[in-house]
Chain A
Amino acid sequence: MMATLAVLGFDGTAQTLLELALLNALMAYSGYVVVAGGSFSLAFVAFIGLGAYTAAILSLDHSIGFLPALIIAPILAALGALVLAKPLERLSGVYLALVSVAVISVFRVLLLNFDSLTGGALGKSGIRPRIGTQELIVGAVVVVALFALIYRSMVGRAMRLVRADPLVAASMGVNVRRLRLWLFVASAALGAIGGVFRAYYTGFVVPGDYGFELLITLLAMVILGGVGHWTGPLIGAALWTLLPQWLDPLGLWRDVATGGILLLIILLLPQGISGGVRTVVHKARRRFQVRGSSEEEHTIALAEAAADEAGSDMVQPGGDLVRAPAAGLDGLT
């Protein structure tokens, strides 16, 4: 019961908040993978649900525990993503977003209708033994460390370039289609892991937990933190988890305030908090001519700062819109 209350945000102890923030961060990285690759594929929420339900079914019906579930669930999700990717790979932009909406909805209908397997509308409860702070910390550290490594790697750079401009990325030799396919699969696997953690943390699964509310929450975290840097989802998840606590006195108006804050972030801080901080740092560096630890790192940092600004349509005096995507190229070479 305490955990249920905690998940709903009623228990304000620091430890619970830490646990929730870690759990949210784990799930948010699944969304970050696709968004950071410039894709509109929002079906990762369904894969989080798939992971959670896999964990629940394995635990309750087959007595298979947490660690095996952490291996089985992402494999299932990755296979599912591979199957789904075939029809989806031709789509982009809003079409992809629309299909994602469809995937999330169909997933919910499946959960509701195969009740012998999923428990229907009531879901499944009594997943034991529950995990606590330690497991969540280990999980989050592993995932964040992974992203920190990827960020500096070839793949990380390719991701940022594809998001800034897919055409330029393709001309630089990045196989955009294949990169997005693997990001989609990775996002699904990662989402399933997040789902396993959630199932074992709360001890239950219900269909309503893996729908649009979760999608909005996780996207808000990713955007708040900023998609341009690996710390983004962590920052976003921490702040977005604390936010309801701070807004608690507002009562019913809390959700209105939440939406308003999200709107302000989108309008005023489109690169998120990590992007905003980086812009400030890079500007300061350039002004004071402070060099990075090595010449190469400095070049990359400058190129990335340029890439952040590169996509923006620069309005020329004549009123023509000129795109300047090529500025990010130095980061790859």
Chain B
Amino acid sequence: MLLLQQIVNGLLIGAVYALFATGLSLTLGVLRIMNMAHGVTISIAAITGVEVAAHFGLPFPLLLIMGGLVGAFVGVVSETIVFGPLRRSRSHDSHSREFSTLLGSLALLTILQSLAQIYTFDYTDDQILRFPTDVFKSRIVSLGGIEVRTISLVMFAVAVVLSGLVWWVMRWTQAGRAARAVAADHEAASMLGIDVTRYAYVIIGSAGALAGVAGILIGIAFNSVDYLIGSAYLLRGFAVLILGGIGSVPGALVGGLTLGLAEGLTVHFIDSSWVDAVAFGLLFVVLVVRPQGMFGKLEVDRA
């Protein structure tokens, strides 16, 4: 029964990994940006969420929307000051542009994380912020002997619904088709009249929004928010990305659940201190055995 409990716990947290990784996957798949600053979005959204909840008493659903807006804002700012200028820069060739983008996101990570640190440093003694307890009154329900917190169930539901939404948009709408065209070839897409710059904003904004929602959910579920809260999710997000395949939305969902499950099993059979190693061991194995991930198409990279 304890094993089953760990499996369920793993799947529930895995949904959040999926939610976060979906955004990471979109930015990498469509825009070729390996955004190391994506994790900070979680921290910033969660910190803002605590402040807003404490001062204005925003109800839970509005808090989620606000988290999404804050995340989208972080994304748009990143695109405006870092990724957009680098994409248009003429002094970079395609290889050095990819590399500069990676470095640019590292610089962005340093800036945003330090800002978050400064904010929390001034504000509290232990630098840990907590949501007011009445934001979401989580109860424990028993499902056939397995105990689950209601917040975890909400977290799971929100993650699955949002992932489904993103998948539907990408698969069936005109905007999704355009985004996939951009993913295939920036230049060809722009020749076909697709405004790549606009789609870059939409994609990064949406990715930020997903991370923002994840930030609020994580902040409430674990009720401990600090400026580093997102970094653990960033690493897991990359693992999920590789597991599921870059650019694949269902892949991110399945990858997230798989990672959550693997972590649950690790806690049960080995020890919680090995959780990180198992996540990345899994990543490593997938890259060697099936580099395109579970759902990705094989991409032939130049040289």
Q: B-contacting residues of A (Cβ < 8 Å)?
A: 35, 38, 40, 87, 90-95, 97-99, 101-103, 105-106, 108-110, 112-113, 163-167, 170, 176, 216, 219-220, 223, 252-253, 255-256, 258-260, 262-263, 266-267, 270-271, 310-315, 319, 321, 323
- Scoring A40, A101, A220 by chain B CB atoms within 10 A of each residue's CB, the highest score goes to A101
Chain B neighbourhood of A312, CB < 8 A: 90-93
Contacts of B108 in A (CB 8 A): 259, 263
Give the contact stretch, choosing among B66-74, B130-138, B281-289. B281-289
* Contact residues in B for A40 (Cβ distance below 8 Å): 98-99, 102
Residues of A within 8 A of B113 (CB): 255
B255 to chain A, nearest CB (A): 13
CB atoms of B187 and A321 under 8 A apart: yes
Q: Does B104 contact A (CB under 8 A)?
A: yes
- A258–B115 Cα distance when bound, in Å, is 12
Establish whether residues B110 and A106, one from each chain, have CB atoms under 8 Å apart when the complex forms. no
| Nearest CB of chain A from residue B251's CB, rounded to whole Å | 14
Residues on the B chain within 8 Å of A102, using CB: 238-239, 280, 283-284
Q: Quick one: which of B104, B273, B284 has the most chain A CB within 10 A?
A: B284
Q: Footprint of A on B, CB under 8 Å?
A: 28, 32, 34, 81-82, 85-86, 89-96, 98-100, 102-104, 106-111, 113-115, 117-118, 121, 187, 191, 235, 238-239, 241-242, 246, 273-274, 276-277, 280-281, 283-284, 287-288, 291, 301-303
Q: Is the interface of B mostly helix, strand, loop or mixed?
A: helix
A–B pairs, 26, beta carbons within 8 Å: A35-B99, A40-B99, A90-B291, A91-B287, A92-B302, A94-B246, A98-B34, A101-B238, A109-B277, A110-B277, A112-B273, A113-B273, A113-B277, A216-B110, A252-B117, A256-B110, A256-B118, A259-B108, A263-B82, A266-B100, A266-B104, A266-B107, A270-B91, A270-B100, A311-B94, A311-B96
Name the one of B111, B288, B303 contacting A167, with C-beta atoms under 8 angstroms. B303
CB distance A223 to B103 under 8 Å? yes
B281 nearest CB neighbor, chain A only: A106
In contact, B107 and A167 (Cβ under 8 angstroms)? no
Given known A-B contacts A113-B274, A256-B115, A267 and B104 have beta carbons under 8 A apart? yes
Whether the Cβ atoms of A87 and B303 lie closer than 8 Å is no
Contact indicator B276/A98 (Cβ below 8 Å): no
Q: Would you call A313 and B94 a contact (CB within 8 A)?
A: yes
Contact A270 B273 (CB under 8 A): no
Q: Which residue of B lies closest to A260 (CB)?
A: B111
Roughly how many angstroms separate A321 CA and B92 CA in the complex, as a whole number? 13
Q: Which residue of chain A is the closest to B283 with respect to CB atoms?
A: A102
> What's the Cα separation between A310 and B287 when bound, in Å?
33
Query: Is B95 in contact with A313, judged by CB distance below 8 angstroms?
Result: no
Q: Which residues of B have CB within 8 Å of A94?
A: 28, 32, 34, 98, 102, 246
Partner of B95, one of A38, A112, A219: A38
For the complex formed, measure the closest distance between the CB of B7 and the CB atoms of chain A, giving whole angstroms.
Answer: 22
In the complex, are the beta carbons of B114 and A256 less than 8 A apart?
yes
> Are the C-beta atoms of B81 and A263 separated by less than 8 Å?
yes
Q: Are A262 and B103 in contact (CB under 8 A)?
A: yes
In angstroms, Cα B115 to Cα A271, docked, is: 28
Could you say which residues of chain A place their CB within 8 Å of the CB of B284?
A: 87, 99, 102, 106
Nearest chain-A residue to B276 (Cβ)? A109
Give complex CA distance A328, B4 in Å. Answer: 61
